[in-house]
Amino acid sequence: MRIFPHHHRGPVRGRRVVAALAATSSLLALTACGAADMTRQSSPYAAARGAKTVTLSVQSWVGAQANTAVAAYLLEHELGYRVDTVQVDEVPAWDALSQGRVDAILEDWGHPEQEKRYVEGKKTITPGGDLGVTGHIGWFVPTYFAQEHPDVTDWKNLGKYADQLRTAESRGKGQLMDGSPSYVTNDKALVKNLGLDFEVVFAGSEAAQITQIRQFAKEHKPFLTYWYEPQWLFERVPMTEVKLPEYREGCDADPEKVDCAYPRTPLQKYLNTRFAEHGGKAASFLKKFHWTVADQNEVALMIAEDKLTPEQAARKWVERHEPVWKPWTR
């Protein structure tokens, strides 16, 4: 913004100074000697003796926090590693994983483009096996509303309820609330291709979406939202899924033409290739890490609802479930 008026005075002597500046800066750039490896950069906050440091990426939803918390706890207390966690969105996390900024992603919901580029193409990322949890995205209405109007759970009848689902933001149609822009969603295409009189309203972040859902639930109001399982919020606000046209292989291949439900995705782990090969016990532990929806939800609820820190929640789970995690550490 221009906040200073023009001054039409001042000497022309500045030119020499500018030239000198330009010269010194270009010299500085040239004198950097030797090559710097961009794929081996550590965090400045890592331990001084950072030989045994593992960096895990953690995504913005609580389930992902739960995986990371338990993995970090066991790596630290059972295997003697130091663990750094970095919270980043999914696509930048893939990028970071390929560069070795993080060593592992523990819960991926399917990013075909990134898989093609980094796993098959550059081979900088290696699949780390199933997490053990199956993820599913869908449209949900609150259970109290579904009980009053049982037919709302079929997408064909959604139009009848568009009026009740209207908000100030939905431009006179019914509101379908989506959340964070980083999540996988076909909702805009779905609404169009299924011919529904609905407007997709993006809350912009999961925190905003959860806050809004809870407000609606407190008021006992109807709502229709993009949501996913496993998710701890179901424990607090029971929701019922709306049936969309059945998922068929390849029906969501063209993002513009999607007209079917979301698939059920066995969530995947991914490791940085160099870490997978030379990561020793930590890498083999992360490859073996495998647990159920119930396990993950137990930890997630402690974090989100009881407001325990991820570490405290992980400790509680680890104390209760030794038979589950013992095999991972061998």
Question: Interaction with other proteins in 144-173: which residues (CB under 8 A)?
Answer: 167-169
Q: How far is the CB of 248 from other proteins (least distance, A)?
A: 26
3-state secondary structure 42-92: CCCCCCCCHHHEEEEEECCCHHHHHHHHHHHHHHHHCCCCEEEEEECCHHH
- CB hemisphere CA count around 262 (13 angstroms): 24
Identify residues 223-282 at the interface with other proteins (CB under 8 A): none
Q: How far is the CB of 221 from other proteins (least distance, A)?
A: 10
Identify residues 202-231 at the interface with other proteins (CB under 8 A): 202-212, 214-215, 218-219
Q: Which is nearer to other proteins, 203 or 283 (CB)?
A: 203
CA of 235: how far to CAs of 98, 231, 238, in Å? 36, 8, 6
Q: Which is nearer to other proteins, 190 or 210 (CB)?
A: 210
Q: Tell the residue number behind the tokens 């970090």, with chain if given.
A: 72
Q: Which is nearer to other proteins, 89 or 288 (CB)?
A: 89
Q: Is 329 in the site for other proteins (CB under 8 A)?
A: no
Q: Tell the residue number behind the tokens 């002597």, with chain if given.
A: 13
Site map (CB under 8 A) of other proteins, residues 27-66, x = contact: --x--x--xxxxx-xxxxx--x---------x-xxx--x-
Q: How far is the CB of 151 from other proteins (least distance, A)?
A: 27
**Residues 201/169, Cβ–Cβ less than 8 Å:** yes
Distance CA 299, CA 295 (A): 7
Q: How many CB atoms lie within 10 A of CB 91?
A: 12
Site map (CB under 8 A) of other proteins, residues 104-133, x = contact: -------------x----------------
